[in-house]
Each structure stands twice: as C-alpha cells, then as structure tokens.
Amino acid sequence: MKLHELTKQTHRAKRVGRGIAAGQGKTAGRGTKGQKARTGRGAPVGFEGGQTRLYRRLPKRRGQRSIRPETATITLSMVAKAFPKGGRIDHAALVRAGLAASRERSRIVASGTIDVPVRFAADVKVTEGVKRQTKQA
C-alpha cells in the first residue's frame, strides 16, 4: 500500500438518546440528575460547587514581570582587561571572566579601546562601533 492509495477514514457521530437498544439511550451518557445532566448552560468556568473559587483564594500579586531576558552591557575596555591576549570570545568565555551571568545575554559596546585582535562569536551581540574598531564583518 502506498500513501496515495489511502482513503480517508471517518467515524460516524455517536447518536445519543435514541432508545435503549442504541447503547446510549435514556440518559444519553450524562448519568442521572445533577447540573451536568440538564440541558442548557452548565456550571461557570472555575465554579467549585459553592466553595470559594481557587483564583479568589490565591493572593493578589501587584506589578508586572518582564519576560525579556536581562542583557549584560560590556565595554571594550572591560574586554581588554579580561582578555589581555585577545582571541575568540563567546558568551561562555565572558561568563568565566565574570563579565556576564550565564542566564543573561551579552552585548559589547564601543566604550574604550582594545589593542589585541579579538573575534566575537555569534552568541555575543556587537555594536557597529565595536565592529569598526575590531575590523569584523
């Protein structure tokens, strides 16, 4: 059998409330009595049978938390002090040097100068001024 030879398989809708012999007769799978057995609208969302709702029992939290990750702004002079020999610098190297935390992004800005040749990895954001100063593409 090939993929193009398959035919669409469908289920017939279950016919409820059509007599005992049909398998879903009388109560039509709703059980007996109670709010969920009746027609019309059921219990409202969050209703707990008269008990105070969960969202009303929880404490209210004020303010708003940003979901944007923190960014460590690192200057070129900080990079020059931390990496006197230069080389390839990625986010992990900045974390080891203590210039950034592991959970935050890192961004290098062109404040100060650097005399040694450095290459920044793709996971480190670099401003245009830094690109000009370090001659990176």
Q: In terms of pLDDT, which residue wins out, 25 or 62?
A: 25
Per domain, the residue ranges of the chain are 71-134
Query: What CATH number belongs to 71-134?
Result: 3.100.10.10
Write down the pLDDT at residue 136. 66
> How does pLDDT run across 57-112, given as a tens digit for each residue?
998 888 877 778 888 899 999 998 889 888 889 999 999 999 998 888 889 999 88
70 with 104: CB under 8 angstroms? yes
> How does pLDDT run across 31-52, given as a tens digit for each residue?
899 888 888 878 889 999 899 9
Q: How confident is the model at residue 2 (pLDDT cuts 50, 70, 90)?
A: very high
For tokens 């950034």, the residue is 100
Write down the pLDDT at residue 54. 93
Give the whole-angstrom CA distance, residue 42 versus residue 27.
Answer: 16
Taking alpha carbons only, the member of 101, 127, 131 closest to residue 118 is: 131
Give the whole-angstrom CA distance, residue 123 versus residue 91.
Answer: 6
Write down the pLDDT at residue 113. 85
